[in-house]
């Protein structure tokens, strides 16, 4: 083998590893030195390196709060045992309530930070869904679980929005294990469908009283370098068939080709759905409009809900570093990364987009927002 050929191989290897470091740093929020360390320790396997990073840095994020909850629960239990007036049934009920919150019944205290602007947004779109409402309500949100700063406070912020809007379906991206365990303890009125159980991943929350899960599947993207996949949950909503889908498509401007490959998979799955099924996709697509055009545009019968509702300017930018200060960047970036697609059933009742508003636009007590993305709340008439 010639020296020039060896030099070329070495150069290609260096370029590949440099790209891996850049991707690791972007996903983990670390720097290139940290990225190189974790990748080298894991034989340059991106998934193993990221899992190792998450395990080392994020498992303890909610430990302080969990310890405080355990202490409060123990204190409550001792008080109940010392109170002769309590019956055993009452003691059990109180103990359960000390450890979980049904978001359809109780509103976490931090929701008081949501001002009249966001409360008004709920009333503008109709009352939050309850068991007598035929509207389907949805939230889609990249919650930025990869950012460990004020993570517990920001997770409480998400719970406040769930309590305020009581959505039937919640599409979540950038979850980590400790974050979703936190949600499961509080959102006991929801069933969780998860895209993974380690690293970082997506998830779907289904309101148990209104949405019934039939089955779900996780579809891998064969060439992803960022652990991305597609969740498909087959459900019924008040007796009507729905396929609910969420994904976090490949990030970064230079991953356009991979992102479009993944979008084609999403569109193919939408096209394959039976005629009597409505398909609803929500997620962080990282898309630029030109990329949608390059894959041939939206499939027949599929609408972009924001466009369908008139391209309202106040709902355009879900990633907006001009308004959202969670990320410190040397430039202003305003993009419509988070999108919702709808394909109504060709036979039977139709789902009609009714209302859309961005959520998470109020700062929490910790002076940060719930996420670096705004969430999308929308409703559909049936």
Least confident among 16-20, 149-153, 297-301, 335-339: 16-20
**Helix pair angle (88-99, 63-82), 10° resolution:** 170
Identify which has the larger pLDDT, 329 or 101: 329
DSSP SS3 for 340: strand
Residue 84: per-residue pLDDT? 46
The DSSP 8-state label assigned to residue 93 in this structure reads H
d(CA 216, CA 118): 33
Residue 26, CA distances (Å) to 14, 250, 377 in order: 18, 11, 27
Residue 278: per-residue pLDDT? 98
| Tokens read off for 211 | 């949405």
| Tokens read off for 113 | 């930070």
Q: Kindly indicate the confidence band of residue 102, based on its pLDDT and cuts at 50, 70 and 90.
A: low
Kindly name the residue from 144, 284, 320, 338 that is annotated as catalytic: 284
Report which of 265, 246, 155 is spatially closest to residue 195, judged by C-alpha positions. 246
Report which of 193, 128, 202 is spatially closest to residue 357, judged by C-alpha positions. 128
Residue 367: per-residue pLDDT? 96
What secondary structure does DSSP assign to 96-135, as a single string? HHHH---TTT---GGGGGS-HHHHHHHHHT-SPP-TT---
For 349-373, what is each residue's pLDDT tens digit? 899 999 999 999 999 999 999 999 9
pTM score of the predicted model: 0.80
Mean confidence (pLDDT) of the chain: 84
d(CA 206, CA 231): 13
Q: Note if 284 is an active site residue.
A: yes
Report which of 375, 363, 378 is spatially closest to residue 154, judged by C-alpha positions. 363
d(CA 105, CA 163): 8
d(CA 243, CA 253): 30
Residue 166, phi-psi category: left (phi > 0), alpha (psi -120 to 50), beta (remainder): left
Burial label, 274 (beta-carbon count in 10 A; 0-12, 13-18, 19+): exposed
Share of the chain above pLDDT 70, in %: 77
Report which of 257, 247, 250 is spatially closest to residue 341, judged by C-alpha positions. 247
Residues 6+ apart with CB under 8 A from 7: none
Residues 6+ apart with CB under 8 A from 216: 193, 204, 231, 232, 233, 234
């Amino acid at each position: 083998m010639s020296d020039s050929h060896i030099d070329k191989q070495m150069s290609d290897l260096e370029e590949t590893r440099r790209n891996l470091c850049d991707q690791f740093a972007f996903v983990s929020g670390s720097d290139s030195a940290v990225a190189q360390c974790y990748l080298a320790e894991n034989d340059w396997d991106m998934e193993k390196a990221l899992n190792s990073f998450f395990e080392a840095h994020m498992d303890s994020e909610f430990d302080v709060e969990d310890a405080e909850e355990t202490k409060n629960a123990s204190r409550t239990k001792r008080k109940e045992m010392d109170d002769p007036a309590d019956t055993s049934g009452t003691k059990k009920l109180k103990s359960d309530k000390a450890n979980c919150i049904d978001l359809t019944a109780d509103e976490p205290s931090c929701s008081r930070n949501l001002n009249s602007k966001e409360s008004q947004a709920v009333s503008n779109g109709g009352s939050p869904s309850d068991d007598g409402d035929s509207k389907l309500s949805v939230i889609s949100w990249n919650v930025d679980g990869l950012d460990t700063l004020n993570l517990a406070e920001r997770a409480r912020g998400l719970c406040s929005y769930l309590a305020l809007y009581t959505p039937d379906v919640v599409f979540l991206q950038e979850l980590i294990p400790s974050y979703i365990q936190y949600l499961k303890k509080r959102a006991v009125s929801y069933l969780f469908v998860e895209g993974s159980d380690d690293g970082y991943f997506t998830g779907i929350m289904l309101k148990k009283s209104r949405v019934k899960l039939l089955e779900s599947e996780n579809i891998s993207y064969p060439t992803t370098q960022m652990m991305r996949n597609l969740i498909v949950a087959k459900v019924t909503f008040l007796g009507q068939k729905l396929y609910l889908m969420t994904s976090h498509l490949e990030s970064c401007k230079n991953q356009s080709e991979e992102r479009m490959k993944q979008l084609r998979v999403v569109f193919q799955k939408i096209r394959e759905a039976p005629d009597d099924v409505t398909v609803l996709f929500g997620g962080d697509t990282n898309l630029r409009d030109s990329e949608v055009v390059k894959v041939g545009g939206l499939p027949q019968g599929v609408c972009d809900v924001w466009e369908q509702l008139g391209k309202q300017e106040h709902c355009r930018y879900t990633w907006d570093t001009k308004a959202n200060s969670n990320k410190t960047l040397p430039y202003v970036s305003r993009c419509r990364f988070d999108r919702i697609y709808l394909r109504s059933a060709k036979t039977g009742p139709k789902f009609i987009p009714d209302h859309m508003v961005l959520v998470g636009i109020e700062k929490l007590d910790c002076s940060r927002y719930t996420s670096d993305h705004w969430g999308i709340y929308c409703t559909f008439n049936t």
